[in-house]
Structure 1
């Protein structure tokens, strides 16, 4: 067993960690989360002190006992804990105080599921569930805390359900999914910020008194802040130090907040952002909060990342393409934008086939009146005049060439210049009488409405069933503004943000079940919805609209802290790059894109013969290394290039018999410094051979002495070192 209860102590054990809490005076007190401590009762760490202006709970005369000074498992508002809370409720009488006390618990085999929400599932792993019931007896409000324990993955999941068991309606003003209290403050806060075309840039700052907060109020998890954070020792690195990760399995508004308190304790909370959140619960109704994936590593951020990679790859991603080999694709967007027809696409397909590429994806512009980004969204009818025939004719033509066929959709969006908007203007998110804010000349469909989802679902199904379509790129190119639904009364408009995401998940569940053999790739202007929640439905997500290989080094570095390579959509694009104007060698572009699902984003018919031969070689290399890249352990060997003159990363097979080291040298210098890259994860006692040079090294030599990086003759040059165990 991984979950134990004895003498009011709950102990949750994984292979390398222990999470513990205690029922103390009917309050649920957090006692410990960290390295495995076995059967030790860690409640000796609970201490009492009379701290001025920290009040005492009802019925407790001991001035040293205050909720304001204890480590709490799920703090609520209004009963003397003045720190950040997880639950705020407005009751019918206008009060907002909730006093939660322990009632009962249950330990169950297997992993809990969440109705209407994505969550880690058990799969082939052993998992157990702990449910703890807390109750405010005065208002008859019940909170069910869920804990899922994956012993071998060192993963503990957190979620909760709020149940109104009273006789009057209530309004939830804040429901966070998790609180994690520490009795120390000497830690760093690591988060991943960015913008469109430059997402998930790692930033690390020491904790300070007050609240450090990241989040999104944009309706999506966003390009600006990713719903994944780390708290770690000040001196923690890739291979040493205590690290605590929290990944929010949700694709909408979120908040992650770290607060250092008056007593130098730290509180980490995570959940749905409470901006414009006001959710009504009638008597006997319940609200389920999304899941947080917690992970602890005593071996630094490298091991923390590998723990998340394995959990997401095998226990979050689902369906055929969870582990099946993904096709190497070419997308026509940067090749043609809106200007294409069937013959142009077939030309690309013919050339792609010669070079070993396996799928052609037709991007935006194939439907309705859609020759630019001003019109047509919502009119999901094939523009046969533009294509010069039926969609099936194009798909059959691509298949006859020997390629699979994929297609682009943007289901959540609508153009005002569309037949759908003219017929149903109330289907868009906008406030009556107020001019809406537009993004990319489009509005957002109200996916909280079932009638809207049903219509779009039927249109997508008709397209997908019309021909042999094996891939869908699902895009969403703006964030939510003017959030108001025509179907909800005024007092329930605070539910729209969350109901939109619930509707999106409902749609995604239905369409992925309807088309189990289709590979769905998520996208929101690139990485604007790159989160574990979306990975439950989309096993890969377009990492960024920025396809510049040098920029991608920084983007993919930050992405690697939480997300496996198998989820990272990465393509080779044309140079000069369409976003930055930078030119980088075809070889380097290929090496960088191989740290993902791999494909091409260019007009392959216009490449030089030399570049075409390079593409052919890259395709063969990626196929050769596919299992190692997708399934191997991932190691960051340098930083993202902001300090290091080189950027290097590595894939190591599970049996440690093979490794692929990737290095990009950023800038050449006159009279240059010499660099070694220190390989990781090998067997120190075994001999490895560099496949290209034939040179042999012990694992210990490569890890401690390093591999000499060749001196490059130009900026942004790359090298791959394939190491094979000597027989």
Structure 2
């Protein structure tokens, strides 16, 4: 079955469990949103809305305007009083646009985006629809790109604006993904935080008016991630509808869900208009970043696993994406600023004695290519520790971001054998744009295991655990003062693709030193499953005293569960731990129980774990399919 079809100017994109439909309004030439959700087979009539009232947008012959229409690429003016996806300022000061359908083309595969990171795929992986619109008043054209990855229920969108005229224009607003959903009861979930406090779930009602957030830091930032979910109020981890949206961009951004008086919800994700005003001269073309949307009928968990698989297979281009990562030791928390040749040499020797294979040296690299050529370098961590405070013009952020991508593209392309890691004072640039070039990023400067559990689960809503870096740090923790067992700290860190230590080995206790060989042995077993397996959030630390997560191997024969008790409880008893993602009819053996249990028993009945009355306890449970 073709994944994209065009019946005249009715367009259908179909995936394993998603349909995306829109058509051209024969009267206005505008693109009209019809459906984004579960599979459908037909176009149906739109909702009936009264045209009474002052805001209906009647033209001079009484024909309804665009206010009550669900639009795919809303522009400015022409009776639509909602936020636009595209806002262009012309040389004479006019800002009204009238983009109408001109042509379309369906291509196998997916063209690259010039100068920008984006998803990619072969002809069998992805199909692309390009719809060309034209504004004959300003002589400006727009090429809208819709790519569907059917296996992941994913739609990737971007657009180009070409100035065919003789005067300069300026892009004031550019939302890479825009669509109008029907009158649905929706909630918005986003990831909010700050330095060392990233990726906290925030859930809001999508009420009348604008619901959203933005970054103005010049990069994606710790405060907000360029990701959000719209979901039904009854949606859970395992059931219900969810629409996830993610911008493949590292600069300032804006995300909005706007409910108008008729109840329709306009979804916009793209550049922050405060950092736009991007000039486009005669004959030039502006390319928007890409935005990815994934629909799930199996709750937030199904949405996340689709994002994880899509990004590992069709966004991260590193040779290391599916490779087991080396264990490393970072000198920062071990030595701080007390760095000299002797201290680094001693630390490296201590590290080698523990079996750790990679050692990170914190120093400034002035000429990256020359340094790479001058030594046998296999790992580089690229940090960013300052927002852009004094931006010379609104357009500078877009220009800076494209320049940064050009450097990253050149270096990672020239040295593909190097393992590159992203960082921005922790998780300040944990976004799809960076993931395109670097297979892993430092998730947070907060290495406290209790806090990291929340941060890592929040980040996992969009990003694969294989892309996260997490280390076992010293106790008491430098930020929180907590003194948590090395077992608990290790279990939290082992959940991530890049595992290591953030401490001075010479200061370890005897018990901690004795535990490290066993931790490394466990890492050798777990890391391949973390890198390529499927991830399940069984319970969130903010929802229960007993959070848990689970990985299932790619061949589905092995599963590993990380179970935690945050605080000691005499009563009540912990609830049974119910697994996910197993074969219900198969039987499993485990280190957590004698004999075998069926997948149905483990998922629906669960197992009771023997928790001690003690804070910060953890267990690692292996399940083997018989």
Q: Report the CA distance shift for 1:313/1:201 in structure 2 as closer, same or farther (over 3 A).
A: same
| Aligned residue among 506, 510, 534 for 2:434 | 534
Measured in 2, the distance between the counterparts of 1:353 and 1:501 equals: 38
Q: Report the CA distance shift for 1:253/1:681 in structure 2 as closer, same or farther (over 3 A).
A: same
> 2:15 corresponds to which residue?
14
Matches within 5 A, 1:370-519: 380=365, 459-484=367-392, 493-519=393-419
Larger CA deviation: 462-471 vs 520-529: 462-471
Q: Given that residues 356 and 620 in structure 1 are in contact (C-alpha distance below 8 angstroms), is that contact kept between their aligned partners in structure 2? A: no
Give the 3-state SS of the residue equivalent to 1:510 in structure 2: helix
Task: Tell me the TM-score normalized by structure 1.
Answer: 0.84
Give the 3-state SS of the residue equivalent to 2:396 in structure 1: helix
How far 1:58 moved relative to its partner? 5.9
| Aligned residue among 611, 616, 620 for 1:720 | 620
Larger CA deviation: 343-352 vs 559-568: 343-352
Measured in 2, the distance between the counterparts of 1:587 and 1:651 equals: 19
> 2:213 corresponds to which residue?
214
> 1:343 corresponds to which residue?
342
Measured in 1, the distance between the counterparts of 2:593 and 2:359 equals: 36
Q: Given that residues 328 and 500 in structure 2 are in contact (C-alpha distance below 8 angstroms), is that contact kept between their aligned partners in structure 1? A: yes
Q: Given that residues 494 and 526 in structure 2 are in contact (C-alpha distance below 8 angstroms), is that contact kept between their aligned partners in structure 1? A: no
Task: Tell me the TM-score normalized by structure 2.
Answer: 0.97
| Aligned residue among 506, 518, 527 for 1:617 | 518
> 2:228 corresponds to which residue?
229
Measured in 2, the distance between the counterparts of 1:259 and 1:46 equals: 18
How far 1:351 moved relative to its partner? 2.7
How far 1:57 moved relative to its partner? 7.0
> 2:472 corresponds to which residue?
572
Q: Report the CA distance shift for 1:123/1:666 in structure 2 as closer, same or farther (over 3 A).
A: farther
Q: Report the CA distance shift for 1:707/1:693 in structure 2 as closer, same or farther (over 3 A).
A: closer
Q: Given that residues 185 and 207 in structure 1 are in contact (C-alpha distance below 8 angstroms), is that contact kept between their aligned partners in structure 2? A: no
Q: Deviations over 1:588-617 (max 9, x none)?
A: 000000111211100012212221121111
Measured in 2, the distance between the counterparts of 1:286 and 1:712 equals: 64
Larger CA deviation: 701-710 vs 286-295: 701-710
Unaligned runs of 5+ in 2: none
Give the 3-state SS of the residue equivalent to 2:302 in structure 1: helix
Matches within 5 A, 1:652-691: 652-691=552-591
Measured in 1, the distance between the counterparts of 2:86 and 2:123 equals: 34
Measured in 2, the distance between the counterparts of 1:57 and 1:569 equals: 56
Q: Report the CA distance shift for 1:541/1:588 in structure 2 as closer, same or farther (over 3 A).
A: same
How far 1:236 moved relative to its partner? 0.5
Measured in 2, the distance between the counterparts of 1:261 and 1:712 equals: 53
How far 1:669 moved relative to its partner? 2.1
Measured in 1, the distance between the counterparts of 2:410 and 2:341 equals: 31
Q: Given that residues 57 and 80 in structure 2 are in contact (C-alpha distance below 8 angstroms), is that contact kept between their aligned partners in structure 1? A: no
Give the 3-state SS of the residue equivalent to 1:270 in structure 2: strand
Measured in 2, the distance between the counterparts of 1:300 and 1:643 equals: 17
Measured in 2, the distance between the counterparts of 1:179 and 1:33 equals: 12
Measured in 2, the distance between the counterparts of 1:57 and 1:469 equals: 66
Give the 3-state SS of the residue equivalent to 1:195 in structure 2: coil
> 1:635 corresponds to which residue?
536
How far 1:674 moved relative to its partner? 3.0
Give the 3-state SS of the residue equivalent to 2:551 in structure 1: strand
Q: Deviations over 1:202-242 (max 9, x none)?
A: 11122111101111000010000000000011101111111
> 1:418 corresponds to which residue?
none
How far 1:664 moved relative to its partner? 1.1
How far 1:340 moved relative to its partner? 2.3
Q: Given that residues 571 and 593 in structure 1 are in contact (C-alpha distance below 8 angstroms), is that contact kept between their aligned partners in structure 2? A: yes
Q: Does 1:32 align with 2:35?
A: yes
> 1:126 corresponds to which residue?
125
Give the 3-state SS of the residue equivalent to 1:185 in structure 2: coil
Measured in 1, the distance between the counterparts of 2:594 and 2:354 equals: 28
> 1:2 corresponds to which residue?
3
Q: Given that residues 200 and 555 in structure 1 are in contact (C-alpha distance below 8 angstroms), is that contact kept between their aligned partners in structure 2? A: yes
Give the 3-state SS of the residue equivalent to 2:273 in structure 1: coil
> 2:483 corresponds to which residue?
583
Measured in 2, the distance between the counterparts of 1:473 and 1:91 equals: 43
Measured in 1, the distance between the counterparts of 2:610 and 2:463 equals: 30
How far 1:286 moved relative to its partner? 1.0
Unaligned runs of 5+ in 1: 368-379, 381-455, 485-492
Measured in 2, the distance between the counterparts of 1:276 and 1:475 equals: 23
| Aligned residue among 599, 623, 628 for 2:500 | 599
Q: Given that residues 109 and 122 in structure 2 are in contact (C-alpha distance below 8 angstroms), is that contact kept between their aligned partners in structure 1? A: no
Q: Deviations over 1:161-211 (max 9, x none)?
A: 111111111111111112121111301111010000010101112211110
Q: Given that residues 238 and 299 in structure 2 are in contact (C-alpha distance below 8 angstroms), is that contact kept between their aligned partners in structure 1? A: yes
Give the 3-state SS of the residue equivalent to 2:389 in structure 1: coil
Larger CA deviation: 78-87 vs 219-228: 78-87
Matches within 5 A, 1:145-160: 145-160=144-159
Q: Given that residues 166 and 283 in structure 1 are in contact (C-alpha distance below 8 angstroms), is that contact kept between their aligned partners in structure 2? A: yes
Aligned residues: 622
> 1:386 corresponds to which residue?
none
| Aligned residue among 23, 31, 43 for 1:41 | 43
Measured in 1, the distance between the counterparts of 2:124 and 2:304 equals: 18
Measured in 1, the distance between the counterparts of 2:416 and 2:201 equals: 35
Q: Does 1:70 align with 2:73?
A: no
> 1:401 corresponds to which residue?
none
Measured in 1, the distance between the counterparts of 2:206 and 2:334 equals: 46
